[in-house]
Amino acid sequence: MKSYAVIQHNYSEFLGQVERQLEIRDIGFSYFRPFVGQDLPGSAIHFDALFILGGSSLINNEEQTPWIESERRVLRLFQASRRPVVGFGFGALLLAENAGATLHDEPYHNAYWTTAHKTEAGEGDALAEAVDGKRVLVFYNGSATLPDNVAPILIDDEGKWLAIRPDSMTYGILFRPELKPGMIEDMIMEAGRDTPDDIGELLATARVEWPETQKTTDQIIMALVKSLDLMKERHKAPVFKLNVE
């Protein structure tokens, strides 16, 4: 059975709408939560892909992310093993950093609805083609300046990057196909979380957009499945059981 590792950075932000798409494809997934002290995978050989989820922390703030070096290590392990890697929000920034991007603390909040636009670099890319012209919710903290050798495949209405594909097995996505309106409500209720001033308006729009958002998410997952060959089961190390008599 295909199995994905999923790194989660808080309880409010999980696979959400993407879970259903994985389940109907008979894909299992295991959450790893470093924010509560849980160890991350020691290797990539037991998994077919890695998803790195969103979060409210800044990657380079060691007080907020004391576990970040372990996460960087896991990302490198999956890439070295030629496993697909997908990052949403925080995860996308981490992938950008790994590809040579410069991270910035400002603007702290990046949360807005926009239309995704395919770039020249996105021509022929399944994800870029699927999302081109679609309304998407962008939601992440901090920012990243891409290096010259990494061109965005999708940009927003103002020309800021929304998605990158730094190598054939990796996507970094700043818009959030997994977010459901209920998840945004959970963010608002999350103790100690600093949310954008207009998060109420973002939530109201998310409710209105929900029927189309579900269709867009379905198209995004189908594109990722096609581009990353996500239905392929990678070679995984066997699990041995010791029978003690």
Residue 238 lies in a domain: no
Residue 28 lies in a domain: yes
What's residue 177's pLDDT? 97
Residue 245 lies in a domain: no
Q: How many domains does the chain have?
A: 1
Owning domain of residue 31: 2-228
Residue 234 lies in a domain: no
Report the pLDDT averaged over residues 8-30: 94
Residue 26 lies in a domain: yes
80-119: b (≥16 Cβ within 10 Å) or e: eeebbbbbbbbbbbbbbbbbebeeeeeeebbbbbbebbbb
pTM for the structure as a whole: 0.94
Residue 43 lies in a domain: yes
Q: Residue 101 and residue 107: Cα distance in Å, rounded?
A: 16
pLDDT tens digit string along 201-234?
A: 999 999 999 999 999 999 999 999 999 999 888 8
Residue 239 lies in a domain: no
Residue 236 lies in a domain: no
Within 10 angstroms of residue 238's Cβ, the number of other Cβ atoms is 6
> For position 133, which CATH number holds?
3.40.50.880
What's residue 240's pLDDT? 47
First to last CA, the chain: 30
